[in-house]
Amino acid sequence: MRADGGGVQLKKVASFWMIRHPHPSSPPSSAVPLRFVAGPSGPPAAVAMAEAAVVLQKKRALRSQIRRELKVFSPAQREQEDVAIQNLVLNSPWFKSSKGLCAYISCEALREVDTSKIVAEVLKNSDAEHGLQVKKKLYVPRVEDKNSHMRMLRISKIEDLVANSMDILEPSPVDADQNECEDVMLATQPIDLFLLPGLAFDRHGRRLGRGGGYYDVFLQKYEELANQQKWKQPLRVALAYPVQIVDGDLIPMTVTDVPVDAVVSADGVIPISPAALERILKIIILEI
Ligand SMILES: Nc1nc2c(c(=O)[nH]1)N(C=O)[C@@H](CNc1ccc(C(=O)N[C@@H](CCC(=O)O)C(=O)O)cc1)CN2
Ligand SMILES: Nc1ncnc2c1ncn2[C@@H]1O[C@H](COP(=O)(O)OP(=O)(O)OP(=O)(O)O)[C@@H](O)[C@H]1O
C-alpha cells in the first residue's frame, strides 16, 4: 500500500492546480470554475437558472448512484477499509502534529467511513489521566436548523454525544457538567485539520455532500475566520471508500462548493492542493 498516492497521480494533481492556481498559495476554495454565476460577464439569468437545475439534477443522480453502491459494499470489506483508513490517518505526521481538529462522528446507517477509532484516540490523548502528550482539541458537528446551519462544538469525552433526529451522534450545547461546549468559531486557537464526510469525491478535490449544504456553509465561514485571524488554513481531508472516488467530471460544482485538499482511502492518501502537497508530501510548489 502506498501512502503518497503514487508519482503519476501527483503529476496529474499538480498540473490541475498549476492550471487553476497560477498563485498556488491562494485558498483552495477558488479551485472550482465559477461557471454558474449570473452577472454582467456571466450568462443571462434564464440560462444560469437552467444550468443550476442541471447541476442539481446531476448531483441528485450521483448521490443516488453512490448510495446504491455503498449499500451493496460488503460489510467485511468495509470493516477492513475502515481500519486501514483510520490507521493511515492516525499514523500520518499531519494528523499527529495537529493540535485542533474538526471531525465527523460517523454514522453506520449512512455507510460513512468510520471515525470512531480516530475520535477515541484523540479523546484518549486529551484525557488528563494519559499524560497530555499531544493534547488535541476535538470539535464535532451539531446541526442547528434545516437552513444549512451547523456548529462545531468541542467534546472531551464520548459521553458528551447524543443521537439527533437523523440518528447521528452530536454534542449538546452544554456538557454533562452543564458547561457550555466551546464553539470552534469562538476558539482562540486555529484548527489545523478537518476530517470530512461526503458521498463522492474526485482527484481534483471536488466533493459531493448529502445535499444539506451544512459543510459548504461551515467551511466557507471557517475559511473567512482563518483569513481574518491570519491563521493558516486547515487541511481539508475527506475519508472515502473506493466507490466514493469518482473519475472524470462526474461531480458538478457550483460557486458555493468547497473543495478538499486531500482524500484518504484504504489505498492511500491522495494529496490534491498545494497545501496538501506541502503538508502531506512535504513538497513545496514555487510561485512562478
Ligand atoms: N456523520 C455525519 N454528521 C454530519 C453530517 C454528515 O454528513 N455526516 N452532515 C453533513 O452535512 C451534517 C448533517 N447533515 C445530514 C444531511 C443528510 C443526512 C441524511 O440522512 N441523508 C440521507 C437522505 C435523506 C433524504 O434524502 O431525505 C442520505 O444521505 O442517505 C444526514 C445528515 C452534520 N453532521
Ligand atoms: N456558502 C453557502 N451559502 C449559502 N448557501 C449555500 C452555501 N453552500 C451551500 N449552500 C446551499 O446549500 C444547498 C445544498 O448544497 P449542496 O448540494 O452543494 O450541498 P452538499 O455539498 O451536498 O452538502 P454538505 O455541504 O452539507 O455536505 C444548496 O442549495 C446550496 O446553494
Contact between 141 and 152 under an 8 Å Cβ cutoff? The reply is: yes
* 132-158 per-position pLDDT tens digit: 455 899 999 999 999 999 999 999 999
pTM: 0.87
* Rounded distance from Cα 42 to ligand 1 centre (Å): 32
Question: Which atom belonging to ligand 2 lies closest to the Cα atom of 197?
Answer: 27
> Does residue 150 line the site of ligand 1, with CB under 6 A?
yes
* 101-127 per-position pLDDT tens digit: 999 999 999 999 999 999 999 999 765
Pick from 111, 210, 244 the residue to mutate for probing ligand 1's pocket: most ligand atoms within 8 Å of its CB. 210
Q: Residues with beta carbon inside 6 Å of ligand 2?
A: 59, 148, 198, 208-217, 220, 256-257
Find how far residue 79's CA is from the centre of its chain.
Answer: 21
pLDDT for 130 equals 53
CA-proximal residue: ligand 2, atom 17 (nearest): 211
Closest CA to 89 of 227, 268, 232, 223: 268
pLDDT for 127 equals 57
Per cent of the chain over pLDDT 70 is: 82
Is ipTM over 0.85? yes
pLDDT for 227 equals 98
SS3 18: helix
* Rounded distance from Cα 209 to ligand 2 centre (Å): 8
Statement: residue 175 has pLDDT above 50 = yes
> Does residue 163 line the site of ligand 1, with CB under 6 A?
no
pLDDT for 33 equals 38
Average predicted confidence (pLDDT) for the chain: 86
pLDDT for 26 equals 38
CA atoms of 172 and 277, how far apart (whole Å): 36
* 58-72 per-position pLDDT tens digit: 999 999 999 999 999
Statement: residue 37 has pLDDT above 50 = no
CA atoms of 185 and 163, how far apart (whole Å): 23
CA-proximal residue: ligand 1, atom 21 (nearest): 210
Pick from 168, 255, 256 the residue to mutate for probing ligand 2's pocket: most ligand atoms within 8 Å of its CB. 256
* Percent helix, percent strand, percent coil in the chain, to nearest 5: 40, 15, 45
pLDDT for 224 equals 98
Average pLDDT over residues 234-239: 98
Question: Which atom belonging to ligand 1 lies closest to the Cα atom of 67?
Answer: 30
CA atoms of 240 and 263, how far apart (whole Å): 7
